[in-house]
Amino acid sequence: MSLKQMMFIFLSTLLVWNAPAYGSTPWIAFSQDGAVFVAQLDGQGKTKLAEGYDPEISPDGKQVAFTAYSKEGDRTIAVVNRETRNIKHVTTIPGKNSYGPRWSPEGSRLLVNHWDDVSMDWVIGLMDMENDSFTVLIKDHTGLYSPFWSHDGRFAFAQDLENLLKIDISANKLEESRPLSDVIGESFPSSAVHFSYSPDGERLLFDCDVEADKSWSSLGEPLISAIFMFNLKDGKTVRLTDRTVCATKPSWLPTGKSFIFSGYTPKDVNKKGSPFSLYLMDLNGGKPELLLKGGSQPSSSR
Q: In tens digits, what is the pLDDT along the chain, a chain of 302 residues?
A: 444 444 433 333 333 323 233 246 899 999 999 999 999 998 889 999 999 999 999 999 999 999 999 999 999 999 999 999 999 999 999 999 999 999 999 999 999 999 999 999 999 999 999 999 999 999 999 999 999 999 999 999 999 999 999 999 999 999 999 999 999 999 999 999 999 999 999 999 999 999 999 999 999 999 999 999 999 999 999 999 999 999 999 999 999 999 999 999 999 998 888 999 999 999 987 899 999 999 999 999 99
| Residue 157: HSE in the Cβ half-sphere, 13 Å Cα cutoff | 22
Vertex 274 angle, CA 102 and 57, to 5°: 20
- Name the strands in the sheet holding 35-40, side by side, starting at the edge strand that comes first in the sequence: 47-51, 35-40, 27-32, 296-300
DSSP-assigned letters across all residues of 89-126: E--SS-SSBEEEEEE-TTSSEEEEEEEETTTTEEEEEE
pTM of the model: 0.90
Calpha distance 54→93 (Å, rounded)? 17
Of 200, 190, 203, which Cα lies nearest the Cα of 248? 190
Vertex 83 angle, CA 70 and 128, to 5°: 60
Of 144, 141, 55, which Cα lies nearest the Cα of 103? 55
CATH of domain 26-300: 2.120.10.30
Residue 200, φ and ψ in degrees, nearest 5: -90, 0
> Could you give the 3-state DSSP secondary structure of residue 43?
coil
Calpha distance 80→103 (Å, rounded)? 13
Question: How, if at all, do strands 195-197 and 173-179 pair?
Answer: unpaired
- Report the chain's C-alpha Rg in angstroms: 21
